[in-house]
Structure 1
Amino acid sequence: MAGPTTTTERGEPGTRRPVGARPKGAKRTGPSPARPSRLPGPRAVLLIVAALLVLASGVWLFYGSAWLRIEEVTTSGTRVLTPAEVRAAAAVPVGAPLVSVDTDDIEDRLRRALPRIDSVDVVRSWPHGVALHVVERTPVLLLEKGGKFTEVDANGVRFATVDAAKAPKGVPLLELTVAQSPSLRRFGADRLTAAAVGVAGDLPGPVAGDTKVLKVRSYDSITLELTGGRTVVWGSGEEGEAKARALTALMKAAPKAGHFDVSAPTAPAASRS
Structure 2
Amino acid sequence: MADRRAERSAMRRHRTWRTVLVGVLVLALAGGVGWAVGWSDLLALDAREVSVTGEGTTVDVERVRDVALAPAGTPLVRVDTAGMREEILGLRGVKDVDVVRSWPHGLDVRLTARVPVAAVPDEDGFVLLDDEAVRVGRTAEAPARLPVIAVPLDDASSGALTSALAVVAALPPGLAKRVDEVSARTRDDVETVLRDGVSVRWGGREELDLKVEVVRTLREVADDAVVIDVSSPHMPVTR
TM range (shorter): 0.7 to 0.9
| 1:240 CA drift (Å) | 3.1
Q: Match for residue 78 of structure 2?
A: 100
Q: Is the 8 A contact 2:60 2:93 kept in 1?
A: no
Cα separation, 2, equivalents of 1:237 and 1:59: 55
Q: Match for residue 174 of structure 1?
A: 149
After the TM superposition, which residues 16-31 of structure 1 pair with which residues of structure 2 at under 5 Å, given as runs?
none
**Any idea what the Cα deviations from partners look like across 1:18-58, whole Å, max 9, x if unmatched?**
xxxxxxxxxxxxxxxxxxxx987220121121012102211
Residue of 42, 49, 52 corresponding to 1:67: 42
**Structure 1 residue runs of 4 or more that deviate by more than 4 Å after TM superposition:** none
Structure 2 CA distance for partners of 1:268 and 1:62, relative to 1, 3 Å: same
Corresponding position: 1:160 with 2:136? yes
Q: Match for residue 191 of structure 2?
A: 223
Q: Which amino acid aligns with 2:43?
A: L
Gaps of 5+ in 2: 1-11
Q: Is the 8 A contact 1:262 1:268 kept in 2?
A: yes
Structure 2 CA distance for partners of 1:178 and 1:258, relative to 1, 3 Å: farther
Cα separation, 2, equivalents of 1:59 and 1:177: 58
Q: Match for residue 238 of structure 2?
A: 269
**Any idea what the Cα deviations from partners look like across 1:130-153, whole Å, max 9, x if unmatched?**
111111122222222123433333
Q: Which amino acid aligns with 2:122?
A: K
Q: Report which of the two structures shows the higher radius of gyration computed on alpha carbons.
A: 1
Q: Which amino acid aligns with 1:129?
A: G
Q: Match for residue 141 of structure 1?
A: 118
Q: Which amino acid aligns with 2:237?
A: P
* 3-state SS of paired residue (2:117): strand
Cα separation, 2, equivalents of 1:115 and 1:83: 10
Q: Is the 8 A contact 2:53 2:110 kept in 1?
A: yes
Q: Match for residue 22 of structure 1?
A: none
Cα separation, 2, equivalents of 1:41 and 1:246: 82
Residue of 116, 132, 135 corresponding to 2:93: 116
**TM-score if structure 1 supplies the norm length?**
0.71
Q: Which amino acid aligns with 1:255?
A: D
Structure 2 CA distance for partners of 1:238 and 1:99, relative to 1, 3 Å: closer
| 1:120 CA drift (Å) | 0.7
Q: Match for residue 16 of structure 1?
A: none
Q: Is the 8 A contact 2:76 2:101 kept in 1?
A: yes
Gaps of 5+ in 1: 1-37
**Any idea what the Cα deviations from partners look like across 1:211-262, whole Å, max 9, x if unmatched?**
1211012344322111123322333444434433332222112324443333
Q: Which amino acid aligns with 1:240?
A: L
Q: Match for residue 19 of structure 1?
A: none
Residue of 244, 253, 262 corresponding to 2:221: 253
**TM-score if structure 2 supplies the norm length?**
0.80
Q: Which amino acid aligns with 1:268?
A: V
After the TM superposition, which residues 28-39 of structure 1 pair with which residues of structure 2 at under 5 Å, given as runs?
none
Q: Is the 8 A contact 2:160 2:185 kept in 1?
A: no
**Any idea what the Cα deviations from partners look like across 1:34-91, whole Å, max 9, x if unmatched?**
xxxx987220121121012102211221133331111122111111125323112445
Q: Which has the higher contact order (CA 8 A, sep 6+)?
A: 2
Structure 2 CA distance for partners of 1:89 and 1:69, relative to 1, 3 Å: closer
Q: Match for residue 188 of structure 1?
A: 157
Cα separation, 2, equivalents of 1:89 and 1:158: 22
* 3-state SS of paired residue (1:52): helix
Query: In angstroms, what is the RMSD of aligned CA positions?
Result: 2.8
Structure 2 CA distance for partners of 1:108 and 1:56, relative to 1, 3 Å: same
Q: Which amino acid aligns with 1:199?
A: V
Corresponding position: 1:88 with 2:63? no
Structure 2 CA distance for partners of 1:52 and 1:144, relative to 1, 3 Å: same
Corresponding position: 1:208 with 2:183? no
